[in-house]
């Protein structure tokens, strides 16, 4: 499908919540040459070169991680050097195991200041936590210059205000010098909604989260039924018939 798109002058790239180390295999298999988005908008890369790094403001990583640590909230801090975790819940342990042998996974210490390794993402597991909404409200009052948003299920992501898929998409289109209204995005989860609000056309797979479905311009078959590929195939066929 990627090659068919390219024959029509249409580029394909990826926007993921995953770290670049976890994206390498799929990037290689799809031979992605365009810039791509990682870490929920925390970084933009082209091949192995980082083009944009949307990090948390100075000192915020230390302050935010101490806030979470004091409340015994499980989290992982992502920096270029390592991932720091205070408590490996099942979902966070899956992430940590995927990153082993790719980057250092270290035990969080509350005296670590991150002064030489700014963070671009902190992942929080809210499962089983009481009054978590009140925690978010307290957080927003203390740290108005960062973003605390739901990414997937009980997982939340803390990033800079620029580090979301929507803002990163806008940065990407500026690099490529293409208008946003010519972009079609596909998604299925909470962290795709900012992208849905930014692109010219947004499509949710049928098995997407309800709030993502509500924001979509169109819906395709589920990702278990090759929904994105089938949608793009129909799009190309429609485009060809219009050109005849």
Tens-digit pLDDT profile for residues 186-238 = 999 999 999 999 999 999 999 999 999 999 999 999 988 999 999 999 999 88
Contacts 24+ apart (CB under 8 A), 29-38: 30/2, 31/2, 34/176, 35/172, 35/175, 35/176, 37/13, 37/165, 37/168, 37/169, 37/172
Identify the CATH number of the domain in which residue 80 sits: 3.30.1240.10
For residues 95 and 152, membership in a common domain is answered with yes
Q: What is the predicted pLDDT for the residue at 26?
A: 93
Q: Report the distance separating Cα 217 and Cα 211, nearest Å.
A: 12
Domain assignment of residue 244, yes or no: no
222 and 152 co-located in one domain? no
Could you tell me which of 158, 163, 62 has the C-alpha nearest to residue 108?
62
Q: Same domain for 168 and 103?
A: no
Q: Report pTM.
A: 0.86
- C-alpha to C-alpha distances, 214 to 13, 36, 203, 222, nearest whole angstrom: 24, 25, 10, 15
d(CA 81, CA 139): 26
| Sequential pLDDT tens for the chain (244 residues) | 888 899 889 999 999 999 898 999 999 999 999 999 999 999 999 998 999 999 999 899 999 999 999 999 999 999 988 999 999 999 999 999 999 888 999 999 999 888 888 899 999 999 999 999 999 999 999 999 999 989 889 999 999 998 999 999 999 999 999 999 999 999 999 999 999 999 999 999 999 999 999 999 999 999 889 999 999 999 998 877 776 6
Domain hosting 75: range is 60-160
Of the three residues 117, 143, 160, the one that is the final residue of a domain is 160
Based on the structure, what is the number of domains in the chain? Answer: 2
Residue finishing a domain among 104, 135, 160: 160
Structure-block tokens of residue 198: 């930014």
* CATH at 23: 3.40.50.1000
Query: Are 170 and 154 part of one and the same domain?
Result: no
């Amino acid at each position: 499908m990627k090659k068919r798109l390219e024959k029509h002058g249409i580029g394909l790239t990826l926007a993921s919540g995953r770290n670049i180390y976890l994206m390498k295999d799929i990037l290689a298999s799809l031979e992605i040459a365009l810039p791509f988005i990682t870490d929920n908008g925390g970084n933009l890369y082209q091949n192995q070169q980082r083009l944009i790094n949307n990090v948390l403001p100075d000192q915020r990583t230390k302050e935010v991680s101490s806030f979470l640590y004091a409340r015994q909230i499980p989290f992982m801090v992502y920096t270029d050097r390592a991932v720091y975790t205070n408590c490996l819940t099942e979902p966070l342990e899956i992430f940590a195991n995927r990153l082993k042998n790719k980057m250092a996974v270290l035990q969080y210490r509350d005296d670590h200041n991150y002064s030489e390794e700014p963070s671009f993402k902190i992942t929080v597991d809210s499962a089983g936590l009481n009054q978590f909404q009140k925690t978010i409200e307290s957080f927003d009052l203390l740290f108005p210059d960062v973003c605390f948003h739901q990414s997937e299920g009980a997982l939340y992501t803390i990033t800079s205000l620029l580090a979301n898929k929507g803002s990163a998409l806008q940065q990407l289109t500026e690099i490529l010098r293409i208008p946003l209204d010519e972009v079609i995005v596909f998604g299925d989860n909470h962290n795709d909604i900012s992208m849905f609000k930014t692109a010219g056309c947004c499509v949710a797979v049928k098995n997407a989260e309800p709030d993502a479905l509500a924001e979509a311009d169109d819906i395709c078959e589920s990702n278990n039924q090759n929904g994105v590929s089938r949608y793009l195939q129909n799009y190309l066929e429609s485009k060809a018939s219009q050109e005849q």
